Structure 1
Amino acid sequence: MSTERPAVDRLVDAGEVELALIERGEGPLVVCLHGFPDSVFSMVPLLDTLAAAGFHAVAPAMRGYAPSSLPPRRRTTPVDLARDVLAIADALGEEELMVVGHDWGAVTAHTVATLAPHRIRRIVMAAVPHTHSVITRPSLKQAWRSRYMVQFQVPDVPERIIGRDGLRWIDELVRRWSPGWRPSAEQLATIRAGLQGQGRMSAALGYYRGIPLALADADARRIVFGEVPVPALVIRGEADHCMGAERFDDLGDRFTGGVRLASIPGAGHHMHLEVPEVFADHVLAHLTAA
């Protein structure tokens, strides 16, 4: 991956935030969503592949991540993120779309499919199963892996810890979550790119701080826990040390539109960067299925 990052192609007014998009190709709309820790620039290889296959592929810097604008509130919920996706489609003049999401992007994908099922044709969720499954079927092993989510609830302290030494904490997290991957300095710099700048880390951690808010609100909980009535593909890395592979063995009953599980042997949490061609093949097979 080159150190020269592509230019942002479009800015979209999503109401509360302005979203920076990278855009490729023409055809049916596919919105590709990154997670934590990552940046919109890591989605470029997938965008190029989708564009070559005849899709209009776009990726936003998720709200708060550079170079999109900072959100107005300290906490962001999955419903906020889902509404951003719909705002992107509206700005592009598209009623229907497909969504591919990794990590927080996966949470957003199933949330927007519940929020606006009449607009979503298919979704792909990578590295994270349905939120209903994560919350209602806990395990001690996964609780230990996910302890960072509790630590992130503390105000301000995580920002100071993560921000030391040029975000070295992020590099160590990436290596821990994808233990079989040896990312280059360029790849790590690309992952960090969305988190650099005043307020960026607080915005990214605001997704985690928004979880209690979403679960406490009945309407938000109904959407985030809701059934997915569109065809879904869930992709797991078999060596994922963030969300254990065993968490995908039973995907639960939320996928009423049908779901298929794809496993990538040897891949960790950042499968879209570790084995981009394999990942793109799985995505394309789902998006083009009859």
Structure 2
Amino acid sequence: MRFDEIVIRTDRLDFPALAAGEGPLVVCWHGFPDHPLSFGPLAERLVAAGRRVVAPFLRGHHPATLGRLRFADGLTLAADAAAVNAALSDEPLDVIGHDVGAGVAGRLAAAWPERVRRVITMAVPPPATLGTIFDDPAQQQRFFYVFLFQVPGVGEALLNEALIRYLWRTWSPGLEAPEHVLALYADPAVRAGALRLYRANFDRSLHDPVLADRAKVSEKPAPVPMLVLAGEQDGCITPDNYAGAAAGLAPGSRVEVVAGAGHFLHLDRPDEVAALALDWLR
């Protein structure tokens, strides 16, 4: 898939992004450890169906935004997404988020529902149901890296190419980390930013106080119906974690488990994911 490189100028930050196609916009937010290029197979199918795909780099994941992570909580990233949508269109936009990007899309829909039309999240349950995800010892084991990332020095030593390769192979069995991902995370500044994203899960000093009012609603069910996709073979967040997802979703939402897919389900099963996405976006 051939992408053009663009810059989305917002009142918060200028966001580098990859873009392709013509037609109604779909904004795609990537996760960890990942890169917007990984949306390529899905974007190819969306573009063929007459959509324009814009995939921004998360704050701190591009040379132009390195060091711009004073605050690194999920709501900060959702506020970025709201600003991107506002800069791209006066109308609500369709949004797809994977992994960390799923949290971005879910919190965007909850805190800025006027900025979204249709929402799809992949590989992470809705934010409103994540409060209990650490209760399961088996899930705690799968999240070993989350806890190790909290320890200064340990996180910096652990987050390397070997770990990234391991996570990709474990999360989507048989899938190797692409070179564009390895090249992105070869930059120590990018790795430092990624660690801040994870440390913000527990460190309140990394939460933007300006967004405190939005935080009152960002972890509640969004008023916008969402399509939530999970991979049947996801080695990071297993499908059983979606059993209570309906409690965190608006009426009209759907949860779909994609057969034969792992965590990177848009790479494992791009045809199936594209078909589900296009049906939902219609």
| Aligned equivalent of 2:277, options 262, 280, 283 | 283
Counterpart position of 1:209: 199
Q: Relative to structure 1, is the Cα distance of residues 261 and 89 closer, same or farther in structure 2, using a 3 angstrom cutoff?
A: same
Shift of 1:89: 2.0
Superposition TM-score, scaled by structure 1 size: 0.87
Q: Relative to structure 1, is the Cα distance of residues 207 and 223 closer, same or farther in structure 2, using a 3 angstrom cutoff?
A: farther
| Aligned equivalent of 1:109, options 105, 110, 115 | 105
Matched, 1:150 2:144: no
Instruction: Determine helix, strand or coil for the equivalent of 2:248.
Output: coil
Rounded to whole Å, the distance in 2 between the matches of 1:196 and 1:12 is 25
Matched, 1:256 2:250: yes
Q: Relative to structure 1, is the Cα distance of residues 42 and 79 closer, same or farther in structure 2, using a 3 angstrom cutoff?
A: same
Q: For structure 1, which runs of at least 5 residues remain unmatched after alignment?
A: none
Rounded to whole Å, the distance in 1 between the matches of 2:98 and 2:175 is 19
Q: For structure 2, which runs of at least 5 residues remain unmatched after alignment?
A: none
Question: Contact between 2:27 and 2:94, CA under 8 Å: does it hold in 1?
Answer: yes
Counterpart position of 1:191: 181
Question: Contact between 1:17 and 1:70, CA under 8 Å: does it hold in 2?
Answer: no
Shift of 1:108: 0.6
Q: Deviations over 1:84-126 (max 9, x none)?
A: 1122222223431011011001001110001111221111110
Question: Contact between 1:75 and 1:209, CA under 8 Å: does it hold in 2?
Answer: no
| Aligned equivalent of 1:239, options 201, 209, 233 | 233
- Written as runs of structure 1 = structure 2, the 5 A alignment for 1:86-105 is 86-105=82-101
Counterpart position of 2:41: 45
Rounded to whole Å, the distance in 1 between the matches of 2:152 and 2:70 is 10
Instruction: Determine helix, strand or coil for the equivalent of 1:273.
Output: helix
Shift of 1:219: 3.6
Matched, 1:175 2:169: yes
Instruction: Determine helix, strand or coil for the equivalent of 1:236.
Output: strand
Counterpart position of 1:59: 55
Rounded to whole Å, the distance in 1 between the matches of 2:143 and 2:163 is 16
Rounded to whole Å, the distance in 2 between the matches of 1:228 and 1:243 is 21
Q: Relative to structure 1, is the Cα distance of residues 74 and 27 closer, same or farther in structure 2, using a 3 angstrom cutoff?
A: same
Question: Contact between 2:16 and 2:56, CA under 8 Å: does it hold in 1?
Answer: yes
Shift of 1:7: 5.8
Instruction: Determine helix, strand or coil for the equivalent of 1:110.
Output: helix
Matched, 1:159 2:156: yes
Shift of 1:250: 2.0
Shift of 1:45: 2.2
Rounded to whole Å, the distance in 2 between the matches of 1:44 and 1:16 is 27
Rounded to whole Å, the distance in 1 between the matches of 2:132 and 2:47 is 38
Q: Relative to structure 1, is the Cα distance of residues 262 and 102 closer, same or farther in structure 2, using a 3 angstrom cutoff?
A: same
Aligned residues: 277
Q: What RMSD over aligned residues (CA atoms) do the two structures have, in Å?
A: 2.3
Rounded to whole Å, the distance in 2 between the matches of 1:193 and 1:223 is 37
Write 1 or 2 for the structure with the bigger share of helix: 2
Rounded to whole Å, the distance in 1 between the matches of 2:128 and 2:207 is 10
Which shifted more, 46-55 or 97-106? 46-55
Q: Deviations over 1:228-282 (max 9, x none)?
A: 1112111111111100110012214221242111111221111111122222111
Q: Deviations over 1:185-231 (max 9, x none)?
A: xx521232332324100111221111222889764542331221112
Q: Amino acid of the residue matched to residue 157 of structure 1?
A: V
Superposition TM-score, scaled by structure 2 size: 0.89
Shift of 1:8: 4.7
Q: Deviations over 1:107-147 (max 9, x none)?
A: 01110001111221111110100123121353222122112
Rounded to whole Å, the distance in 2 between the matches of 1:260 and 1:152 is 33
Percent identical across equivalent pairs?
Answer: 35
Q: Amino acid of the residue matched to residue 95 of structure 2?
A: V
Q: Relative to structure 1, is the Cα distance of residues 254 and 55 closer, same or farther in structure 2, using a 3 angstrom cutoff?
A: same
Q: Relative to structure 1, is the Cα distance of residues 38 and 113 closer, same or farther in structure 2, using a 3 angstrom cutoff?
A: same
